[in-house]
Amino acid sequence: MVVHGSKIMLFAGNSNIPLAKAIADKLKMKLGEAEVGRFSDGECSVHIGETVRGCDVFVIQSTSYPVNDNLMEMLVMIDALRRASAGRITAVIPYFGYARQDRKARARDPITAKLVADLLTGAGADRILTMDLHAPQIQGFFDIPVDHLLGIPVLCRALMKQNFIKDDNLIVVSPDVGSVGRARQMAQKLNSTLAIVDKRRPKANVMEVMNIVGDVKGKTCLLVDDMIDTAGTITQGAKALIEVGGAKQVFACCTHAVLSGPAMDRLNNSVIEKVFILDTIEQPKEHKSSKIEEITVASIFADAIESIYGDLPVSKLYE
């Protein structure tokens, strides 16, 4: 650990304790003592069990399901740490909830991602550490520093160990136009070509595939997205690659496995051979499936925390 003028401390809410412990293990540390629970009426209850005065504190909490409970836990923890005179507070948010509400899609819509940014800042966070924001411009919603880690390098390192990656006919596929940039990064790292599933979405969480841009016939396809929520986009895209494009087989990967509603049924019944996900969101036991392989982000977050603590560049982790 880098020598620093103040002590470093890690705390965690309840959203993803396994990841928080894994990050602490990588840093050869223990999580700080904190009681994070609920009062009988459902209100969030937080008690920090040791002194944090003057410390460089990192609070690890994904704002995943239940989103509002986990967000409130983080806000109350940050407030408690600030009132306990922590020297600097970094909110470590592997998965940033509300990121899809980054603009006014219709008249009188809120921009909730901006509201969450203001809440975190108002609670007392001095900086943010997160990964693969659904809309990268959310970094500009904050008036404090934001370190935005990328999931593609982590996924690539793990995927390079898979046999299907060595297929000369491998092609990386973006499941929609919005994910082209991310898929292009993956294609460059894997020295592969790129295809796009052109789709139209009649309403939220409902996708209609139109056509496929690129030649995928007889090829092994790797679908790349930042998140899989209800899995409609990824499974229908995979089906189109096989039935319309004539692809040989389809794999998929994403940073954030939200997997809400019918997601698991859709994935288990889909033509996708395997889905590679990062552990930014803790998966419940009922999400265990032979089709899902989880890859940890503990190392990259540990490296980022060490760099922030030592006032060193985080940019090296983008490679």
CA 221 to chain centre: 22
Which of 265, 276, 221 lies closest to 243, judged by CA?
221
Q: What pLDDT does 1 receive?
A: 43
Q: What pLDDT does 209 receive?
A: 58
Q: What pLDDT does 60 receive?
A: 98
Active site residue 199: yes
Which of 79, 15, 17 lies closest to 47, judged by CA?
79
Q: What pLDDT does 215 receive?
A: 94
Low-confidence ranges of the chain (pLDDT < 50): 1-3
Q: How far is CA 206 from CA 161, 231, 245, 255, in A?
A: 34, 10, 21, 21
Q: What pLDDT does 273 receive?
A: 97
Q: What pLDDT does 178 receive?
A: 83
DSSP H helices in 162-203: 180-189
Question: Is 220 within 8 Å of 171 (Cβ atoms)?
Answer: yes
Question: Is 89 within 8 Å of 57 (Cβ atoms)?
Answer: yes
Q: What pLDDT does 177 receive?
A: 84
Tens-digit pLDDT profile for residues 175-217: 988 889 999 999 999 999 999 998 766 666 665 656 899 999 9
Which of 107, 5, 10, 108 lies closest to 50, judged by CA?
10
First to last CA, the chain: 22
Q: How far is CA 160 from CA 25, 114, 172, in A?
A: 25, 37, 13
Which of 245, 213, 219, 234 lies closest to 276, judged by CA?
234
Burial class (CB in 10 A: 0-12, 13-18, 19+), 46: buried
Q: What pLDDT does 319 receive?
A: 66
Q: Establish whether the linkage from the previous residue to 94 is cis, with ω within 30° of 0.
A: no
Instruction: Please pick, among 26, 114, 199, 291, the residue that the annotation labels catalytic.
Output: 199
Rg of the chain, C-alpha, whole Å:
20
